[in-house]
Amino acid sequence: MGVPRKPRAFTLIELLVVIAIIAILAAILFPVFARAREAARKTACISNMKQLGLAAQMYMQDYDGALPDSRMTWLNGLPGVPAPGNGLALGYYGASHICNYSMRVYANDGINLGGIGLLYNPYLKNTQIFRCPSDPETRGWAEACGVPTSPNGKAITPGQHFSSYYQRHAHDAYSSIMGASVSDSLVQVPSQIALFIEEGWHGGTARPYLWDGTQAGDNVRFVNAAYYDGHAKRLGIPFVLPTGANAFDGNWIQNVHPWDYSQAITDVK
């Protein structure tokens, strides 16, 4: 009858080899998992854009084909008569269109909806749609605007009360200068002009890479966009546009005159 063999324990060398193999596999797989998570966030982000595009379509159905603009909610993000010379008067107000309307989800009180959040949320019923899952809340325009204020003195980042997406700046510029709404009949190529654009975080950096002010060797950068006809897809934006902006300027997008809604544009591949 044989003597039972005692179970042999791992030697220190064997244990170290196993640990080294696990570390190597982790180093290989973790970046793959990170890319997979970011791909899922991209999918969720473009889903949000699609819902924004559909909300715009429903808004147009309710308002005789007209889309909203910054004349409807102004300095505090809420409807009402603005201060003299600062809103409903015809004219171009630059970044105020963005700060006060086209990226705003809440009014200055930080509680009530304002800007695009006020006008589009009745068709969305969910303010989370205004937030991209990759948004780190350190977005250029929200920081520059610095509003709305924090309710109850709670410290928050400006990005928490602004949308990850903005209604194109050229849309508001046209409406404010011309004193007329952008309608579905004005937009001759609705499948080729973006209505909503995200600032963009899918380039691997914390800050929105449309607004980092540097080219970093890129000729084009990609963001998700929702178009005037309601569909959503990825959009390529060149580094320097004819408007003179020395950046990847997602405000304007077009390679033609920014207020010309009759010409087709070429998406940069």
The predicted structure's pLDDT at residue 81: 52
Q: Which residues contact 187 (CB under 8 A, 6 or more apart)?
A: 193, 228, 261
């009759």: which residue's tokens?
A: 262
**Least trusted range by pLDDT, from 1-10, 229-238, 240-249:** 1-10
pLDDT exceeds 50 at position 86: no
Q: Which of 109, 112, 77, 118 is nearest to 96 (CA)?
A: 77
Highest-confidence range of 42-56, 166-180, 187-201, 250-264, by mean pLDDT?
42-56
Q: How do the domains of the chain map onto residue ranges? A: 17-238
Higher pLDDT, 138 or 16: 16
Segment (H or E) for 227: strand 220-227
**3-class SS shares of the chain: helix, strand, coil, % to 5:** 35, 10, 55
pLDDT exceeds 70 at position 262: no
| pTM, entire model | 0.78
**Least trusted range by pLDDT, from 36-50, 54-68, 93-107, 205-219:** 205-219
The predicted structure's pLDDT at residue 84: 42
The predicted structure's pLDDT at residue 75: 66
Mean pLDDT of 2-18: 68
**Is the CB of residue 63 less than 8 Å from the CB of residue 138?**
no
The predicted structure's pLDDT at residue 87: 46
Backbone angles phi, psi at 121, to 5 degrees: -65, -30
Percent share of the chain, pLDDT over 90: 19
Higher pLDDT, 235 or 90: 235
**Is the CB of residue 144 less than 8 Å from the CB of residue 251?**
no
